[in-house]
Amino acid sequence: MSAYSDLAAITRAEGGTGSKGCIARGFGGASQTYDSASRLQKVMGDTMLGRLPENLEPVSILDLGCGTGWFTRKLASRFPNAAITGADLAPGMLQEAKDRSSETIRWLNADAEQLPLADNSADLIFSNLMIQWSTRPELVLAECQRILKPGGILAISTLLDGTLAELKQAWASADPGQPHVNRFTHPADWKRLSGEQLPGSIVDTAILTLPYDSPMALNRELKHLGAVFKGEERRRTITAPGRFKAMCAAYPSAENGEVIASYHAGWLYWEKHI
């Protein structure tokens, strides 16, 4: 699907001081801890796999935002005759994916907003929890629309506004006026955008919750995922221990100290008509 499958050519996303460079470095740095921490990612990706038509027989598949290749490998197992490409912005993730995967899978370092792939070149585009990191999701959807073949299937998952509400509230109490939690698109805006970009698309939403031993365990999992706060307003210095202690004290918890984190999940499914 692309001439850019050789990891020796991966250089572009390592540097940069902007948001994309920050995202690439953050996730790349978490490549060795990501799979052990990706409970939510596995649940949401498995949900999408379960929604794919049973009679689907794609010739070419793009796993967009493939990370360590967890679902790229699952797709390869389910569709052994398909040509599969895993694409990601973070070279560190791609190297980890390559090290863990069959040589038959191709890897592409690319920006999802501008992919070096031909029009009408994929039968299936699978993208699990990537698009929420884009500041221009409409460009990602447009690229998917362009690349998908007529009759092809698009499956995307994302996080929506309300995600980590408990953590956001706790930080607002501990450090007023200073953002600590990533912003996510409001469900109504996501539905409107997907409807405008991809007429006839189906959007499902749900609130998922995960338990943690403590707020610090939640913070540790986010760090292991590379999903810490990435906003331009983030502090350029290490957050003081006293603020973390105040955040933990403000986080709602059970008597045994266990806490819950809420994730507002969205799934998009679309078939490209001729």
Confidence check: pLDDT of 172 > 70: yes
**CB-CB contact of 6 with 106 (8 Å):** no
Query: What are the structural domains, with CATH classification, of the chain?
Result: 7-158+184-206+264-271 (3.40.50.150)
Q: What is the pTM assigned to this prediction?
A: 0.88
On average, the pLDDT of the chain sits at 89
Confidence check: pLDDT of 231 > 70: no
Q: What percent of the chain is predicted at pLDDT more than 90?
A: 76
The CA distance from 13 to 267, in Å, is: 27
The CA distance from 256 to 39, in Å, is: 22
pLDDT value, residue 24: 81
Greatest CA separation found in the chain?
A: 59
pLDDT value, residue 236: 53
The CA distance from 12 to 26, in Å, is: 15
Confidence check: pLDDT of 60 > 80: yes
What is the average per-residue pLDDT within 115-124?
A: 98
